Amino acid sequence: MSRLTRLAAATLVLACLLAGCSRKEPVKIGMMAGMSGRVADLGIAGRNGVMLAIEERNAAGGLNGHPVELLVRDDEQNPDIAGKAVEELLANRVEVIIGPMTSGVATAILPRINASDTILLSPTVTSSSLAGKDDNFFRVCGDTRAYAEKSADFQYRRLNRRSVAAVYDLDNRAYSEVWLNEFAARFGKHGGKMVRAYGFHSGATPAFQGPLRQVLAAKPDLVLVITNSVDAAVICQQIRKLAPRQAIALSEWPSTERFVELAGAAAEGAHVSQFFNRESAHPRYRAFRDAYRARFGGQEPGFAALAGYDAAKVALETLEKRGPGETVKQTLLRIGRFSGVQQEFTIDRFGDADRPTYLAVVRDGSYHTLEP
């Protein structure tokens, strides 16, 4: 080998070594949500919101110069599968897992999370049974009490409804039963009455017509539906066939764009309370909405997409600002206040978020905000 050839080879090896040294290790963030099956719309939207936030951060140079790698797992809305997903993510040494999207899954996996140093940061888990606890569970949304009580106040005081019957999903009872009980307590405090409650298992693909006849036989002023978007659409269609003028209210869980699409005309007039204002004029929301539509083929971002994006931004800011010797949990609690897409919100010492709640009605195939 000539001297010139040896010099060129040495230069090439040195360049490769330098390139390897300059390539920084990625910062890994976990994500878990139910993204398969008939009720996957919530999980897919949440994942999309998280992906968008991380792609934007990587395009801007990453996290303190490190690229951010998102490790996504489908929990299939199944506690056993969710448990395996948690173990996989912990084995990858992630310090933040964004998700899950439902209270039932969160309740099932939280003991394992609390036994680790990793935090669970949920976009949409709202069960108040998880509130006020010093653990590794955090969320960027309020708890069920805020939504249930807002809805009960509105139905009793503004719409003069005095009796309510409920249809609720037992497969996510950590959420649905808590939501129902908090609505009933507030409604009863005003003087209203719960006249009937029908619980069903969504995984069994129930036949609703017979039970709904019994629910409507109680002649309630209002039927309250607490379940996923697919079953909520079927329930609303069945109610409209049996009692076309029946008033309907939803918890925030089914109030996705898919619900409106599947329910069609049966969704018209249904009320919902949630933390998402689809008519917000905030510049951050407009920018987010435009970016989301561009990234995901013109799809509208629903509440789960916005919450996923907010959760990812909280995770990124926390990891970026972590001080020497601080855990992720300590840093997140130290920051405490974050800029969401639509408003500022705080996360308290128990990991619970405080943000506004809005009332909306389905009109002409879209959600319209009624009041803050």
Same domain for 89 and 156, yes or no, is: no
Same domain for 231 and 338, yes or no, is: no
Whether 10 maps to a domain, the answer reads no
How do residues 324-335 score in pLDDT, each as one tens digit?
A: 999 999 999 999
Q: What is the CATH number of the domain that holds 154?
A: 3.40.50.2300
Beta carbons within 10 angstroms of residue 344's beta carbon? 10
Q: Tell me if residue 135 falls in helix, strand or coil.
A: coil
Number of domains in the chain: 2
Same domain for 216 and 284, yes or no, is: no
Same domain for 155 and 53, yes or no, is: no
Angle 141-139-293 from CA coordinates, rounded to 5°: 60
* Residue 120 CB-half CA count within 13 A: 33
- Which among 87, 127, 122, 123 is positioned nearest to 104, based on CA atoms? 127
Domain final position from 255, 274, 293: 274
Same domain for 186 and 223, yes or no, is: yes
Query: Residues 81-92, buried b or exposed e (16+ Cβ, 10 A)?
Result: bbbebbeebbee
Residue range of the domain that includes 232: 145-274
Same domain for 78 and 135, yes or no, is: yes
Whether 366 maps to a domain, the answer reads no
Whether 197 maps to a domain, the answer reads yes
Q: Tell me if residue 272 falls in helix, strand or coil.
A: strand
Q: Is the pTM of this model over 0.85?
A: yes
Same domain for 106 and 160, yes or no, is: no
Same domain for 168 and 240, yes or no, is: yes
Residue type, 327: T
Whether 7 maps to a domain, the answer reads no
Question: pLDDT value at position 187?
Answer: 98
Question: pLDDT value at position 3?
Answer: 56
Whether 369 maps to a domain, the answer reads no
Same domain for 106 and 71, yes or no, is: yes
Same domain for 167 and 223, yes or no, is: yes
**Integer Cα distance of 329 and 159 in angstroms:** 43
Beta carbons within 10 angstroms of residue 130's beta carbon? 25
Q: Tell me if residue 261 falls in helix, strand or coil.
A: helix
Whether 178 maps to a domain, the answer reads yes
Whether 198 maps to a domain, the answer reads yes
Question: pLDDT value at position 169?
Answer: 96
368 within 8 A of 279, measured Cβ to Cβ: yes
Whether 364 maps to a domain, the answer reads no
CA dist list (Å): 317 to 171, 175, 312: 34, 29, 9
The two tokens of residue 331 are: 């840093």
Same domain for 138 and 47, yes or no, is: yes
- Which among 209, 186, 162, 359 is positioned nearest to 270, based on CA atoms? 359
Question: pLDDT value at position 205?
Answer: 73
Low-confidence ranges of the chain (pLDDT < 70): 1-23, 371-372
What is the phi/psi pair of residue 65, to 5°?
A: 85, -5
**Integer Cα distance of 74 and 43 in angstroms:** 8
Same domain for 202 and 239, yes or no, is: yes
Question: pLDDT value at position 22?
Answer: 53
Question: pLDDT value at position 352?
Answer: 97
How do residues 125-151 score in pLDDT, each as one tens digit?
A: 999 999 999 999 999 999 999 999 999
**Integer Cα distance of 256 and 260 in angstroms:** 7
Question: pLDDT value at position 2?
Answer: 54
**Integer Cα distance of 368 and 250 in angstroms:** 14
